[in-house]
Structure 1
Amino acid sequence: MKNDPSGARRPAYFSFPNTLVYRGPDFVPSAQEPLAYRYYDKKRVVLGKTMEEQLRFAVCYWHSFGWGGTDPFGEPSFRRPWHAAGDPMAQAELKADVAFDLFRLVDAPFFTFHDRDIAPEGATLAESNAQVRRIGDVFARKMQETGVRLLWGTANLFSNRRYMAGAATNPDPEVFMYAAAQVKNVLELTHELGGANYVLWGGREGYETLLNTDLKRELAQLGRFLNLVVEHKHKIGFKGQILIEPKPAEPTKHQYDYDVGTVYGFLKAHGLEKEVKVNLEQNHALLAGHTFEHEIALAGALGIFGSLDMNRGDEMLGWDTDQFPNNLPQVALTMYEVLKAGGIGQGGLNFDAKLRRQSIDPDDLVWAHATAMDLCARALLVAERMLNDGALPRHLQERYAGWDSASGRAILQGQRSLDELAREVEARKLEPQPRSGQQERLEHLVNSYF
């Protein structure tokens, strides 16, 4: 039994009585223990860190507790207690109670939230912010009791109709100011709760048609907004990362944070490449015409890799389906690129994923998160083998060995002119001979790790 916000006793929301534990690959489900971790042994050391430190799992508030199970053609299919009529703040506290119960059951070390996920919007911004702060106090108490930490917070700058033409990029400066005030509140709350990051997703920062859009002006507005956030981060002493989450489209036709390359160019243009990193998602990468591994590798190469939303898209559908990960080879290649990029750092693996609309049982939330966590742990072990075996890194070293020679280094260091290079090639009558890229052999090698 649990306490509800009125002080009465209520039945437990989930049927699982105890926190899931690691039982090993040979675990056999039973009526008494239908689910356990086969691979997620959080204390196991992988490449110098525990699994818990390498993966830093987070449950997201919005899809798991805020979303009602709607789609463009259907009404909400979930019937959560906090979706019912009643005092909105009492419902928000009930939702927090159930959320922390899920965090406990799946043994998730982190969670993430938008302000509108955790508290209802009030009649004024001051009232809205106060309600967010009230639930923030609930979070602080529950975090102290459970040890669960905040991976990141963010402000919802896309749902309310005031943001239909964007927040930072809105043609009305009053909307820009409103969004800035909303971000200030959530950034400060994230700081007070010890959050490791703060995320900005520009869901409405884009356009539907150029006929009513001043691109140059809107990009300048977005740059100024992001600088304001960074300036305030330093003012309040927030040590977390500021993250942008790229996505090419949906809900707008074109979003300004299209992909990693676009975001990096934007950051360079506004002097922010040392201040802001990216939070990446597989489905967003697909929509931009990339693989998840590509976006992680590029972010790592550019020095802006920050964190991951660990969900997936349906490759037969051209929209953001936000499904829990279930493809081991895909996730293993993802973890391989994460490790090559130096690890997840202050970021984490946030399950920005939602149940399917027909998965209406409360326990479906437990199954979805736990099986996804186990899959990611198994993928981490595969990625560890890929690195420790050394064959893939060795192939890269051999393929690019010429650039490590004295001549190759001199070219890259600007010590050779175009004239010099041309004269040397002509004098030596040099005709380079191509070498095999061995793609099929390498793909066979990767498959052998499974």
Structure 2
Amino acid sequence: MAAHEEFFSGISKIPYQPDAGAADVMCFKYYNADEVLRGRKMEEWLRFSVCYWHSFCGTGADPFGFQTLHRPWNEGTPMEAAKKRLRVAFEFFTKLGVKYYTFHDRDMAPEGSTLQESNKNLDEMTDLALQLQNQTGIKVLWVTCNLFAHPRYMNGAATNPDCHVLAYAGAQVKKGLEIAKKLGAENFVFWGGREGFLSIHNTDVAAELKHMANFFKMAVKYKEKIGLKCQFLIEPKPKEPCRHQYDYDAMSVIGFLKHYGLQDHFKLNIEPNHTTLAGHSYEHDIVMASAFGMLGSVDANTGSPDLGWDTDQFPMDIKNTTLVMKTIIEQGGLQPGGLNFDAKVRRESTDLVDLFIAHIGAMDAFARGLRNAVRIMDDGIMTGMVMERYSSFSHGLGHKVDNGSATLEEMEDFVIQNGEPEVKSGKQEKYESIFNHYI
């Protein structure tokens, strides 16, 4: 990219400087892309992605205040600004040193007055995106469709009580799948921002869930029809903007997928900020989705649980990143998913350089989490303690319980022969103390 096109002038590609001081925030101190851990490069374990909407479309506005982030790339007609914004984004990706980005269809291209105009805008913008991808080698981690912002979707998209609105959402997803194929997206995400209800009095829950399932089945059929090779992902969230959203948490989504026979076509994109909104711990939905073989990708952000709403902050807590990376290592990685920074700088962080500082800090936090998780697993202390705790299931009656061949009659015979079980300590504090050793 020519020098006169630079928007982040004075900033070169972010280096790895492990000996940098505390105040040096424009370098990686822990993220070393080519470093090999457990047979895989760090960049392959982490697969970082920058989200388009927060980082380049965000204005800093919130329900209580106006725009604070006045970006120089948002000037001109909607299409002029869109093209400038896209070039800025690729400059950012390249200097930050990430391999992936994510976007909504309406982030990439402005919505027109008709579906045809919107699609034309999207075609033009994705032509430019493909050109920039080919120039830089940067890829699309996932594409998604914005089926929640426009007033037509105020009562939902796939769960709307009006089939005309559902049809519009279907047409939008059809185009979204086409551009996902065009750009070589490795995943496609469905986030049901308004798929839920505010009042049960005017809602037919059974009908809405069935319609949403059938909507997903249409998407699966079209994906197969056009030969799109990517992973479908559903992103859970319990509330906000709806009072109750159908994709409440990981287990709700898994139950929904299995009930409607969709489990072979979808995995989950877990956003920890959403997990905490559901009343769970940060790592909960990542662990639960992984346990069922359904963890596909992570929207790597965090929130402030004391506030009770979705704040989309950059993840900086090393304990949290360690727990996430331990789960990812245990399941063999996230590919074709990744760690997408669905996070925004605070409305008070108004300097352009703050975009770099935020992403660098979060990438380092996950690199530290990866290093910690590798040490935990290589040492094997905690793994061995857990195995010992469940050792009764490795032989005899326990083995039969584990493989599903035991009967209740055998349970009774075992207790009659062996009497009351000896209660054993769970040693929670010991586990916590050992875990803290690695942080």
2:365 is the alignment partner of 1:375: yes
Amino acid at match of 2:149: S
Task: Tell me which residue corresponds to 2:261.
Answer: 271
Matched residue of 1:367: which SS?
helix
2:187 is the alignment partner of 1:197: yes
Question: Paired residue for 1:109, among 76, 96, 99?
Answer: 99
Task: Tell me which residue corresponds to 1:419.
Answer: 409
Matched residue of 1:364: which SS?
helix
Unaligned runs of 5+ in 1: 4-8
Task: Tell me which residue corresponds to 1:181.
Answer: 171
Question: Paired residue for 1:437, among 422, 426, 433?
Answer: 426
Amino acid at match of 1:77: T
Amino acid at match of 2:269: N
User: Could you tell me how far apart the structure 2 residues matched to 1:443 and 1:29 are?
Assistant: 28
1:226-241 to structure 2, matched below 5 A, reads: 226-241=216-231
Unaligned runs of 5+ in 2: none
Matched residue of 1:130: which SS?
helix
Question: Paired residue for 1:23, among 5, 12, 17?
Answer: 17
Per the TM alignment, residue 275 of structure 1 is displaced from its structure 2 partner at its CA by: 1.1
User: Could you tell me how far apart the structure 2 residues matched to 1:29 and 1:312 are?
Assistant: 23
Question: Paired residue for 1:72, among 58, 63, 66?
Answer: 63
Per the TM alignment, residue 46 of structure 1 is displaced from its structure 2 partner at its CA by: 1.2
2:49 is the alignment partner of 1:58: yes
* Per-residue CA distance 1:366-400 (angstroms, 9 max, x = gap): 11111211111111101110111101111111111
- Please say if residues 170 and 215 of structure 2, whose CA atoms lie closer than 8 Å, have aligned partners that are also in contact: yes
- Please say if residues 277 and 305 of structure 2, whose CA atoms lie closer than 8 Å, have aligned partners that are also in contact: no
Amino acid at match of 2:122: V
2:87 is the alignment partner of 1:93: no
User: Could you tell me how far apart the structure 1 residues matched to 2:137 and 2:402 are?
Assistant: 49
Percent identity for Structure 1 against Structure 2:
46
- Please say if residues 246 and 258 of structure 1, whose CA atoms lie closer than 8 Å, have aligned partners that are also in contact: yes
User: Could you tell me how far apart the structure 1 residues matched to 2:358 and 2:2 are?
Assistant: 23
Change (3 A) 1:34 1:431: closer
Per the TM alignment, residue 71 of structure 1 is displaced from its structure 2 partner at its CA by: 0.5
Question: Paired residue for 2:143, among 153, 171, 192?
Answer: 153
Question: Paired residue for 1:296, among 286, 299, 302?
Answer: 286
Per the TM alignment, residue 28 of structure 1 is displaced from its structure 2 partner at its CA by: 4.1
- Please say if residues 73 and 88 of structure 2, whose CA atoms lie closer than 8 Å, have aligned partners that are also in contact: no
Per the TM alignment, residue 358 of structure 1 is displaced from its structure 2 partner at its CA by: 1.1
Amino acid at match of 2:195: E
2:4 is the alignment partner of 1:13: no
Amino acid at match of 1:438: K
Matched residue of 2:269: which SS?
strand
Amino acid at match of 2:325: M
- Please say if residues 313 and 321 of structure 1, whose CA atoms lie closer than 8 Å, have aligned partners that are also in contact: yes
- Please say if residues 297 and 341 of structure 1, whose CA atoms lie closer than 8 Å, have aligned partners that are also in contact: no
User: Could you tell me how far apart the structure 2 residues matched to 1:16 and 1:349 are?
Assistant: 27
User: Could you tell me how far apart the structure 2 residues matched to 1:367 and 1:411 are?
Assistant: 51
- Please say if residues 15 and 363 of structure 1, whose CA atoms lie closer than 8 Å, have aligned partners that are also in contact: no
User: Could you tell me how far apart the structure 2 residues matched to 1:359 and 1:415 are?
Assistant: 59
User: Could you tell me how far apart the structure 2 residues matched to 1:73 and 1:147 are?
Assistant: 40
Moved more, 409-418 or 164-173: 409-418
Task: Tell me which residue corresponds to 2:341.
Answer: 351
2:154 is the alignment partner of 1:164: yes
Per the TM alignment, residue 429 of structure 1 is displaced from its structure 2 partner at its CA by: 4.6
TM-score, structure 1 as length reference: 0.95
User: Could you tell me how far apart the structure 2 residues matched to 1:378 and 1:415 are?
Assistant: 43
* Per-residue CA distance 1:190-229 (angstroms, 9 max, x = gap): 1221111000000000000001100000000010011111
* Per-residue CA distance 1:295-353 (angstroms, 9 max, x = gap): 11111111111000011001221000000011111211121122223321211000000
Task: Tell me which residue corresponds to 2:355.
Answer: 365
Amino acid at match of 2:20: F
Change (3 A) 1:416 1:374: closer
2:250 is the alignment partner of 1:260: yes
Per the TM alignment, residue 240 of structure 1 is displaced from its structure 2 partner at its CA by: 1.3
Amino acid at match of 1:45: V
Per the TM alignment, residue 29 of structure 1 is displaced from its structure 2 partner at its CA by: 8.1
Per the TM alignment, residue 412 of structure 1 is displaced from its structure 2 partner at its CA by: 3.6
User: Could you tell me how far apart the structure 1 residues matched to 2:77 and 2:209 are?
Assistant: 41
User: Could you tell me how far apart the structure 2 residues matched to 1:29 and 1:301 are?
Assistant: 38
Residue-pair matches, total: 439
Task: Tell me which residue corresponds to 1:6.
Answer: none
* Per-residue CA distance 1:124-172 (angstroms, 9 max, x = gap): 1111011112111111111111111110000000000000000000001
- Please say if residues 322 and 369 of structure 2, whose CA atoms lie closer than 8 Å, have aligned partners that are also in contact: yes
TM-score, structure 2 as length reference: 0.97
Amino acid at match of 2:314: F
- Please say if residues 272 and 300 of structure 2, whose CA atoms lie closer than 8 Å, have aligned partners that are also in contact: yes
- Please say if residues 57 and 348 of structure 1, whose CA atoms lie closer than 8 Å, have aligned partners that are also in contact: yes
- Please say if residues 235 and 268 of structure 2, whose CA atoms lie closer than 8 Å, have aligned partners that are also in contact: yes
